[in-house]
Amino acid sequence: MTLGLPAAYSITVKVASAPPGRPDAGYSTLGGPFPLLNTAVTGAEHLELRTALDTIAQVVSRHLHPEAG
């Protein structure tokens, strides 16, 4: 996902879930080619990210062709 930031530039950020076997399995993770990105995500931030991604999924789902689902 490419995000526009207030400083008038954009970065590409990957939001994923930590894989099984890690202590934080299932929690949101951040990644990307931006060296100044702090990839540590707190529990509260995980919930914020999940809520935002769920909202995006709902909007996109409304725009899918009926045969897609």
Domain ranges for the chain: 2-68
pTM: 0.76
Q: Any residues with CB less than 8 A from the CB of 41 and at least 6 apart, and which?
A: 27, 28, 29, 30, 49
Residue 18 is classified by DSSP as P
* Residue numbers in the chain where pLDDT is lower than 70: 8, 69
Beta carbons within 10 angstroms of residue 1's beta carbon: 10
| pLDDT value at residue 69 | 63
